[in-house]
Each structure stands twice: as C-alpha cells, then as structure tokens.
Structure 1
C-alpha cells in the first residue's frame, strides 16, 4: 500500500475545520456561532493553501532578513506564511474569491474578542451571503486542487430553518442588520467601497439567492434542493425571478448539468495561458496530447461527449464543443514547469523558448 502524500493530513485538517465552521454557523444554541464560523474557516483556508504549496514544492516559510540563510522560528518551529500572504500567492490578481477571503480576514480582526456576544445574530443577518460564498469558494478550491473525493457534499447538508420564510421572520432579520455596531457598519461600507462593481456583484464574493417552493409532483430521482444559474434561464424566467423582490433564496430545478460557458476557455486561450507560464514551447499539439493523457474529455466522435472531468472541462451542447477551466491551466503548468516534469509527462525533451537576445530560457531540471 503506497504511503500517503505528506500534504494529505493538511487536507484532512482543513476539511475538519470547514465542517466545524458550518456546524457552528448552523447551530442555533451556539452563542458565538458567527465568530466560530469566521475563525474556523480562516484555519480551513490556511491549511488548504499550505497543502497546495506543499504539493507544489513552494517554500512557504519565512527566512530571516538579517541572516537570509536561516529560518525565522516561533517556539523552535519554522514560521510559515499567514493566510493573507497565502491568498496573495494563490490569487496574485484581485478577483472575487480573493476579495471575499480578505474581507473575512479583516472582519476576524474586528470581531475577535470585541463583538463576540452582542453582534452574532446581526452579523449573520448582514453577512449571510458573504459567508455562503466563503464556504462555496472553499469547496470549489478544495475539489479543483485535490479531486472530487475531497468534496464536503457528503458531510454538509442544506440546513432546516425558518429565517425569512415568514414575513415576521424577514422583519426581524432586517432589524438585526440595522442593529450592527456603528464601527462594524463603517468597516463594511469602507471595505465594499474599495471594490469594483464587477467584484461586488460576483456570486463568488457574495452569494444572493431567492427561494422558490417547487410546485411540481415529487420526483424520486431529484434532490430536494437543486440550483439553476440565472444566466441559464430564458428571458421570461429571468423576468419572473426579478419580480420576486428582495428576499431569501432562489432555488429552481436544474434539468441538465455541465453545459455552460461561464468562465470557460477555448483551446487557443488555454494554449496561450499555459505557454505564457512555461520556459518551453507549448503549442496546440501539446494541448491535445495533454487532455488525452489526463482524460479530461472523451475522444472526438464519442457517443457521450458530455462525459468530461468537470474540474477541467465542460461540454457545450449548443455549439458542440468544449470549454476548459482555469484549474486545467494550473494543472498543466504544475506538470510542465520543469524539464523533468515535461519529460515525465510527454516522454520527450522540451524545446526552450528563445529570448530577444537569442539565449534560451531557464527552467529547473
């Protein structure tokens, strides 16, 4: 039996922290539920990113400035990157996922030991959409990095609750939001004002849903809660949804899965992005060999073109072609960034790019 990867205990610890965060958030008897959610999700993201860096051989330890060849230590152990540094490394460009995590990092510093008891319900009422996006982003990153076997879907359930299902419940939640301390309201307003409209309105930054009771006969093959993306609706459906007002969640039944264009890339874009990250020449032929080797989609002419590895590729039924995810780009770069990795993956020597002065690029062997 092969030895487990050295980063696997980090993944297990990360998943445990995320499950605990969700349990605390959904526990009505927990006096400090929201604070617990923030703290434990902070640890879940930290352990997850440390696992990613360990797998990818990225040194995430701090080195002393006065003695660059010696590590900084805390209680005899090497000091490792905090979450803010990890997030900046994983998402070097500002995007909704990074902005969401950085919001909760800043919020943790605000609420810890300060607003723990008197503002928990108000925080949950005001920041529920941000918290839900925080957890969903974690799940997507976890599965994209380490595969579907790590999903939390088998551990977490859609909670049973009352919330804004009744008019009195909605009124109470609105009053709770208004009861936030002035310092917290100022912090939230200032943070959001520093973000672009594109990020603020992205579901990965804050999830906003409406709930609709499905008035159809029971389907034994359907899940009790299923989602339909707004962009997948017809114009009439969008119009109906927009008239529902500003409360709760929209949950509509999704008839087909995995046939979307959102944030997907065409093959030539994948080739360009991978090539830009490598010191070697990477072209369309390499791209084709890569998806064949990794089996991210069926071969040309397959009777079931939709049977893709959804982490990396999705089939577009309308256009009869495929779109590839950012995770596929990251995976190829991880495999091919060194000459050794290239040889192991393709079974051939890489061809180095040439710089403007005619010298060839550098890569670790």
Structure 2
C-alpha cells in the first residue's frame, strides 16, 4: 500500500534532523549545515502536520484568491509563516527558539561558527528536543528519533584548558552577531528566556562511587524529586557555573497532568451542572478519540494534546488542555444536551471536598439550574 504524502514529507524531515545532529556532534562538523538542516527538518515537519490535518499551507493572491506559483507549482509557506500558524502565541518559547535560528541562519560567518556554536549551545539543544517533542506528539512514538541519537562525548567540559578555549572563542564573536542574539532576547520576557524550551542548560558532574547495574553513563536528575537541601545545592551550582555544557533529555512525562477524578472536579467547577468520571468523562474521551480503549494493543495511541499513557502505573493522565476542551464541548446546558442527548444533573448544594491541588468552587443553586434546564 502506498504511503500517504505526509509520511514521505516526515521521512525527509527526519533525514534532515539526523544530518543536523551529526553536523553538531562531529568534531569537524559545520555549524551552518546544522542550521540549514534543522531549518529544513522543522519546515518539512510542519508541512507534514498541515497536510495531514488538511490545513492549507500555500500562499494565495489576496485579490484573486488563487495560488501564488513558483515554476508552475503553488508556493508553500516559509518556516516563519508555518511557526506563526502552529504557535499563534508570539511569546511561545518553542516558536521563539526556532525564530532565533531562522535569523541566525542568514548571519553566520564561517570563521566565527565555533564561537557562535558555543554561545547558542543550549538553544540548539532545545531546538532539537522541541523538534522531537513536536514529532512524537503529532505523529506518535513510532516516529521518534530517540533511539538513533546519543549523548556526545566532549573534552571541553573535562579540562581547564577546554573551558578557557570556550571563553576565548565566545569572546571573539563579531559585534553584529552578538548584537543579533542580544537584541532578539531583549524583547523576550525573562521567564521565557529561562524556559527550557527556549534554552536548555545542564551541569555535568562526574559520578563517584561503586557502579550499580542501574547506572548509565548519563543520569538525569529531576529537581522536583530532590530534597529542599539537595535542590538548593543543585540550583546554586547551576547559577554560578561557567562551563557551557548543555543538553536536554525528555520532557517530564506527567508534569501538570491530571487523573480522571481531578479532571472531573475541575470541569464541574467550571460548568453549571454535575460532571463525573462515569459516565461523562469516559464517554467524552471515547467519542473524541483522546485515548484508546483499555484493551487496546497500543496504549500509547493517545492525542498527546490531551492525554498521555503512564507506563509505570499502566494508566492514563490528562492535560489542563483537556479540561478546557471538555468545557468548550459541553460547558453549557444547551451544549451538554447536544453532546450527550440527555439532560444534565443539577449540582447539589453541598460542602465540596476536592483532591489535592483542585480548588473548591461554590455550587450554584439547584432550583436555579432546574429553571435554566426547563
């Protein structure tokens, strides 16, 4: 069976992404080639998304509405236009990260590539990992590049001479290049500049002591799993660090995720009627295709915007966006009737007990709701 057109576009996107990482990690790699290949990787990826989702991504003449043509073919959106479509929030750290590298692509001077690579190291890592996150969240784990990428070996982090070379190379950057990055970041909110999706930085600390079977060459530490004292030490070490060694592993799988009961409580706080896990929540995820049935052979086949599968606990967790989607679909009595083809149950006037992290909301008057339903 012939593959869909978006699949071939995705294969080309992956090819460019792998070439880009190879250029970055190779000792004789070319920074300009890294920028070019990551540009194309993102470009093909977003075109594949739009094609699959039936989103028109070609320029049209504002007067006639017809396609603008290049060599007889419709002119496709450039990457900057694609980024605005995919990330409409101009302060989105993923969009800003990609837009910075679009700007850098046309400004790189060959003799200063090494210094620029050092200065933008964390941002480049974020660019690649944002790409991986976008790839997997839209097309599934089958398209992940994780198994084909490895943590690179670096001497610069291990010797004082290496660290000094880093500082010297960064200091030699020409003023126009330094100004480009500085001016770009001057317009960004500090909170966004510190977001790992814009610039991901880590500190490498050698592991000393007996090795266990569970040890890997690289271990990633989650700050939210450390004690207060451990976290303070790690944060302080990062604040005063001078070695630029940057990488990102994966997004924290269940950060800000909600259990079904928490979803139900949050939804019920936002709508004028009762909302429960059974039957409403279960019926909604089934009908909207948010996750597969419990008996599915592929439990990871979820809509990542709204739901993720937790391998450890063999269960599903939901995103805040899922709460918003539910409220949008059935947030009024009229919408509830249309979706479920039945009447909603009025809230009872009672003392609410909520799970941790879910604020209690006052119930509306039961009779008032009955009047609305009537």
| Structure 1 and Structure 2 fold alike (TM over 0.5) | yes
Equivalent pair of 1:61/1:79 in contact (CA under 8 Å): yes
Superposed, 1:79-158 pairs within 5 Å as: 79-93=75-89, 94-111=91-108, 115=109, 117-158=110-151
Q: 1:58 aligns with which of 55, 79, 93?
A: 55
DSSP 3-state at the match of 1:20: helix
Q: CA deviation at 1:177?
A: 0.9
Residue 133 to residue 251, structure 1, CA distance change in 2 (3 Å): closer
Q: Does 1:35 align with 2:32?
A: yes
Q: CA deviation at 1:295?
A: 7.7
Q: Distance in 2 between matches of 1:143 and 1:259?
A: 13
Equivalent pair of 1:38/1:104 in contact (CA under 8 Å): yes
Equivalent pair of 1:228/1:253 in contact (CA under 8 Å): no
Structure 1 counterpart of 2:170 = 177
Q: CA deviation at 1:270?
A: 8.8
Equivalent pair of 1:210/1:249 in contact (CA under 8 Å): yes
Residue 316 to residue 152, structure 1, CA distance change in 2 (3 Å): closer
Q: CA deviation at 1:329?
A: 8.2
TM-score (normalizing by structure 1): 0.74
DSSP 3-state at the match of 2:196: coil
- Residues 141-164 of structure 1 deviation map (CA, whole Å, 9 limit, x = unaligned): 101011111111111111112122
Q: Distance in 1 between matches of 2:266 and 2:124?
A: 32
Q: CA deviation at 1:328?
A: 6.4
Larger radius of gyration: 2
Q: What is the number of equivalent residue pairs in this alignment?
A: 312
Residue 262 to residue 203, structure 1, CA distance change in 2 (3 Å): farther
Alignment gaps of 5+ in structure 1? 276-281, 300-306, 337-347, 353-365
Q: CA deviation at 1:287?
A: 3.9
Alignment gaps of 5+ in structure 2? 330-336, 342-374
Q: CA deviation at 1:55?
A: 0.8
Structure 1 counterpart of 2:351 = none
DSSP 3-state at the match of 2:146: coil
Q: CA deviation at 1:271?
A: 6.1
TM-score (normalizing by structure 2): 0.72
Residue 207 to residue 37, structure 1, CA distance change in 2 (3 Å): same
Q: 2:318 aligns with which of 313, 320, 324?
A: 324
Q: 2:44 aligns with which of 38, 44, 47?
A: 47
- Residues 280-314 of structure 1 deviation map (CA, whole Å, 9 limit, x = unaligned): xx997554234457584896xxxxxxx87784336
Q: Distance in 2 between matches of 1:253 and 1:133?
A: 10
Q: CA deviation at 1:6?
A: 2.3
DSSP 3-state at the match of 2:111: coil
Q: CA deviation at 1:21?
A: 0.3
- Residues 11-30 of structure 1 deviation map (CA, whole Å, 9 limit, x = unaligned): 11111100000001111123
Residue 21 to residue 243, structure 1, CA distance change in 2 (3 Å): same
Q: Distance in 2 between matches of 1:222 and 1:18?
A: 29
